[in-house]
Amino acid sequence: KAKAAQGAELVYFDEELQAEQRYRFTLEQSIRQGLDNQEFVAVYQPIFSVEGECIVGFEALARWQHPEHGLLGPGEFIPLMEERGLISRLTEQIISCVVPQLAHWHNINPDWFMSLNLSARDIQKPSFIDNLTSLIYAHKLAPEKVVLEITESLLLADWQNASQVLESLKSLGVRLALDDFGTGYSSLSYLHRINADKLKIDRSFIEHWSQTADARLLRTMAHLGQSMNMTVIAEGVENREELVFLGEIGCHQYQGFLSARPMLPEDLEAGGWLL
Ligand code: C2E
Ligand code: MG
Ligand code: MG
Ligand code: MG
Give the distance (Å) from ligand 1 centre to CA of residue 61.
6
Does any ligand 1 atom lie closer than 6 A to the CB of residue 256?
A: yes
Does any ligand 1 atom lie closer than 6 A to the CB of residue 255?
A: yes
pLDDT at 192: 85
pLDDT at 4: 58
Does any ligand 1 atom lie closer than 6 A to the CB of residue 115?
A: no
Q: Find, among 109, 105, 151, the residue nearest to 265 by Cα.
A: 105
ipTM of the complex: 0.98
**Best mutation site among 235, 243, 267 for ligand 1, i.e. most ligand atoms within 8 A of its Cβ?**
235
Does any ligand 1 atom lie closer than 6 A to the CB of residue 234?
A: no
Least confident of 8-12, 86-90, 104-108, 126-130: 8-12
Least confident of 32-36, 51-55, 144-148, 159-163: 159-163
Which pLDDT tens digit goes with each residue over 200-250?
Answer: 999 999 999 888 888 999 999 999 999 999 999 999 999 999 999 999 999
Least confident of 6-10, 69-73, 78-82, 129-133: 6-10
- Computed over every residue of the chain, the mean pLDDT equals 93
Instruction: Using the atom order of ligand 1, give the atom closest to the CA of residue 82.
Output: 44
